[in-house]
Each structure stands twice: as structure tokens, then as C-alpha cells.
Amino acid sequence: MIPSSRSSTPAHAAPTLASYEWLPAERLGQLEVDAPLRPWLIGQGLLTRRLRAACGGRFALRLVEQRTGLLDRALQSSLRVGDAAGLFREVELCCGTEPWVFAQTVVPDSTLTLYPWLAELGEASLGETLEELTGVERSAYEYACLPASEALGGRALDGDPAEPATLWARRSKIRLRGAPLLVQEVFLAPMARGPAALRFGSA
């Protein structure tokens, strides 16, 4: 267990994805998304690298928490695994002192057994690490508007009263030589209102 300033989620409490809808990319155009945020949601390329370009030397990746937890049925279905548990790794991608993206990686036990180094990334970027490997496949993104009352939205907000009641998120499944993991990225309010984000969004 890695210490965190956030309240820890007990190992028996499984995050749930069941009560909001994940939509395919083609449905995103039918929904209202703030103009500065839309390029971040749909843009091509590694998000970490895009944030580095927008924030320059102010970019930072901060490990929030890493823990084991149960996989609920929705996670098992998304990952297409029967594993009862897995590793939950949560990081914040920051511009200066402000978190812009909260990212959660879910690694089922079967994948972790094959690739135990996934539990040893620390504050290294998962995306940049995977880029150096062969046999990595990523699915198309799915999108959701998360209420703060949901587990993932609540983890991202961490009780911050300045954040909105809902947040946009996207997720994709990665297969590392066939072994699945799930990456979920929640886009926080400072990303849409920050000057750097506005300049990047208009590029």
C-alpha cells in the first residue's frame, strides 16, 4: 500500500461503473461538451505528451494511491476477465500545482501475475512506458459524464467543493500481449479554464 492524502478505499469496497453510461466516440458529437475540453477528449496522441506540450516545465505526474481491490461485475465485463480482484493505480496529471486529469488504471490479478512491474511504476507514465514495448494494443475510447456521487467521479474530485457536480471521462482497454488492463481518465475543471488549455485547444 502506498500512503495517500486521500481517504483510502477498503479492499472489500469495489468501485462501480454500472449506474452511468459509457458511450462510443461516435455518440460524443451528439452531447454538449465545453469547447475548450473537446480537443482533449477526442485528440490523438498520448495524453501525457499533450499535457507536457501544453504545460511545459510545469507538468507533473503525481501518484495518488495504489491499492488492491475487488473487481465488480462491470469491471469484469469491460476487461472480459473472471478475476475477483486487481490492482488500482491512481495518478494526477498536473499543470503547476493544479491537477488537470485524474487517471485510474485497473490491472486484474491475472495480468499483474504476468507483468508484476505494473505495480512498480511509481510516478512513471504508464502510457510512455507502454510505448516502448511491443505487443501493445489499445481499444477505441469510450466516454462518460460522471456524477460526483459515483466511485470514480468521487475519487477524482476528492471532496473538492470547487469542482462541478459532473465531469467528463474517457476509458480504453489495453492489451499487453493479450493481457488486459483498463485506463480511465477523468478531466478536471482546471483543464478547461486554464489559459494553457485554451491555447492548446485552439491549435
Contact status, residue 182 vs residue 203, Cβ threshold 8 Å? no
pLDDT above 80: residue 52: yes
Q: How far apart are the first and last CA of the chain?
A: 41
46-201: CATH class: alpha beta
Residue-wise pLDDT for 143-163, tens only, equals 998 887 788 888 888 766 566
pLDDT above 50: residue 198: no
Percent of the chain, pLDDT > 90?
57
Task: Report the alpha-carbon distance of residue 49 to residue 24 in Å, rounded.
Answer: 24
Task: Report the alpha-carbon distance of residue 170 to residue 144 in Å, rounded.
Answer: 6
Burial class (CB in 10 A: 0-12, 13-18, 19+), 79: buried
Amino acid at position 15, single letter: P
What are the Cα distances from residue 175, in Å, to 10, 67, 131? 27, 21, 12
Percent of the chain, pLDDT > 70?
82
Task: Report the alpha-carbon distance of residue 157 to residue 201 in Å, rounded.
Answer: 23
Residue-wise pLDDT for 90-105, tens only, equals 999 999 999 999 999 9
